[in-house]
Amino acid sequence: MLPANHFGEKKVKMSLFGTTSGFGTSGTSMFGSTTTDNHNPMKDIEVTSSPDDSIGCLSFSPPTLPGNFLIAGSWANDVRCWEVQDSGQTIPKAQQMHTGPVLDVCWSDDGSKVFTASCDKTAKMWDLSSNQAIQIAQHDAPVKTIHWIKAPNYSCVMTGSWDKTLKFWDTRSSNPMMVLQLPERCYCADVIYPMAVVATAERGLIVYQLENQPSEFRRIESPLKHQHRCVAIFKDKQNKPTGFALGSIEGRVAIHYINPPNPAKDNFTFKCHRSNGTNTSAPQDIYAVNGIAFHPVHGTLATVGSDGRFSFWDKDARTKLKTSEQLDQPISACCFNHNGNIFAYASSYDWSKGHEFYNPQKKNYIFLRNAAEELKPRNKK
């Protein structure tokens, strides 16, 4: 009873969707009341039956599906699906396996299929209604990114791999519709039609335009000095993709517009996920930015890092909105649901300190947080 009370007051504020019930589920945490452990300092909702190994990717269902369904791919080779109810309760629904760790997941636009990309060099299409998964893509090296492209005249799955290719697949055929060469291994990508951005090793950065058929639009010199880690496209006020945020391993995110009126002024970078804040005299610890996600409604962004924190930012006002408390593990992935009410983030080891810090016994979590209020932009310009 105590844990419930302890959470009680917060519960009202923290309820995801306006109702105040169902926080019992958070009690499924083995640790009950958070006395000394710091696995959930933000007191967010824990997803039940979380994966047994590090979570590499999270994705919420599109608006075409009623309700919210969360997909997570993990290093335990599995992809799990939960239904997230308005009360905050999470119900495990189904699971599929790959023969290698799952690096990326995405939904089709109609919410009927989930695409999963894995280190086993394949990508699969998971039909949720029949709970069957079939292979739809093949690469020569682990597939790092997977995205669904829905264009007026075609639909396909885009896979980016460490074999330095970007392939486009019609799910009905085993041959790719198109193969584009990348300068280096694909590290991260994002797609918002008609734009796609791929960031590769060696600080490669390419923008593609997807109208008609995917083609390279521009190669961009990296605004960051270190390895690219994650990328997310943002939209302008007219809901058209207009630029992207790129995160690196060096605790820094670059905001880059594709065709800004004044590049020197409009494009900028900011430091994040560092230990000493802005005190530059003492050496700070610098952490990698593991994921970036834009709020679908407000246009503000969230970053999650190896330091075990997440932060919300307003890129137009160029201010930080919030930084979380530090979790005891890095945050390896994050995403927003389709209407921006839920922010999901995964707490699991991201290998940022090598194998010595890997503890297979350590529990991995996915947390859900009410994101409607905290991500409101600071001031409209």
Q: Judged by CB under 8 A, which of 224, 233, 246, 293 binds another protein?
A: 224
Q: Judged by CB under 8 A, which of 66, 134, 221, 261 binds another protein?
A: 221
Q: Judged by CB under 8 A, which of 6, 93, 150, 226 binds another protein?
A: 226
State in angstroms the smallest separation of the CB of 223 from another protein.
5
Q: How many CB atoms lie within 10 A of CB 260?
A: 14
Q: Cα–Cα distance between 157 and 370 in angstroms, integer?
A: 31
Does position 112 bind another protein by CB under 8 A?
no
Contact between 345 and 369 (Cβ < 8 Å): yes
Please give the angle made by the CA atoms of 368, 369 and 372, to the nearest 5 degrees: 135
Size, binding site for another protein by CB under 8 A: 73
Could you give the strand order of the β-sheet that contains 45-46, starting from the edge strand earlier in sequence? Answer: 45-46, 365-370, 342-347, 331-336
Contact between 95 and 73 (Cβ < 8 Å): no
For the chain, the helix, strand and coil percentages under 3-state DSSP, each to the nearest 5: 5, 45, 50
> DSSP assignment, residue 349?
-
State in angstroms the smallest separation of the CB of 115 from another protein.
18
Does position 381 bind another protein by CB under 8 A?
no
State in angstroms the smallest separation of the CB of 318 from another protein.
4
Map residues 120-159 to x or -, x wherever contact with another protein holds by CB under 8 A: --------------------xxx-x---------------
For another protein, the closer CB: 240 or 353? 353
Site for another protein in 4-43 (CB under 8 A): none
Site for another protein in 296-315 (CB under 8 A): 313
- Residue 9, class by beta-carbon neighbours within 10 Å (0-12 exposed, 13-18 middle, 19+ buried)? exposed
Does position 261 bind another protein by CB under 8 A?
no
Q: Which two tokens stand for residue 72?
A: 């997570």
Q: Cα–Cα distance between 346 and 162 in angstroms, integer?
A: 24
Does position 260 bind another protein by CB under 8 A?
no
Does position 348 bind another protein by CB under 8 A?
no
223 half-sphere exposure, CB direction, 13 A CA radius: 21
Q: Cα–Cα distance between 132 and 83 in angstroms, integer?
A: 18
Does position 209 bind another protein by CB under 8 A?
no
Q: Cα–Cα distance between 194 and 241 in angstroms, integer?
A: 8
Within 194-313, residue ranges assigned H as helices are 263-266
Picking from 345, 375, 309, 300, the residue whose alpha carbon sits closest to that of residue 60 is: 345
Does position 287 bind another protein by CB under 8 A?
yes
Q: Judged by CB under 8 A, which of 71, 288, 327, 334 binds another protein?
A: 288
Site for another protein in 179-208 (CB under 8 A): 181, 183-185, 187, 200-204
Contact between 305 and 331 (Cβ < 8 Å): yes
State in angstroms the smallest separation of the CB of 204 from another protein.
5
State in angstroms the smallest separation of the CB of 330 from another protein.
10
State in angstroms the smallest separation of the CB of 310 from another protein.
13
State in angstroms the smallest separation of the CB of 6 from another protein.
28
Tell me, rounded to whole angstroms, the distance of Cα 238 from its chain centroid.
23
- Residue 84, class by beta-carbon neighbours within 10 Å (0-12 exposed, 13-18 middle, 19+ buried)? buried
State in angstroms the smallest separation of the CB of 254 from another protein.
8
Which stretch, 35-43, 150-158, 162-170, 291-299, contacts another protein (CB under 8 A)? 162-170
Which stretch, 34-42, 87-95, 234-242, 345-353, contacts another protein (CB under 8 A)? 345-353
Contact between 324 and 41 (Cβ < 8 Å): yes
> DSSP assignment, residue 284?
P
State in angstroms the smallest separation of the CB of 197 from another protein.
14
Which stretch, 34-42, 150-158, 273-281, 337-345, contacts another protein (CB under 8 A)? 273-281
Does position 318 bind another protein by CB under 8 A?
yes
Site for another protein in 34-93 (CB under 8 A): 56, 75
Does position 163 bind another protein by CB under 8 A?
yes
Does position 160 bind another protein by CB under 8 A?
no
User: Which residue carries 């302008």 as its tokens?
Assistant: 236
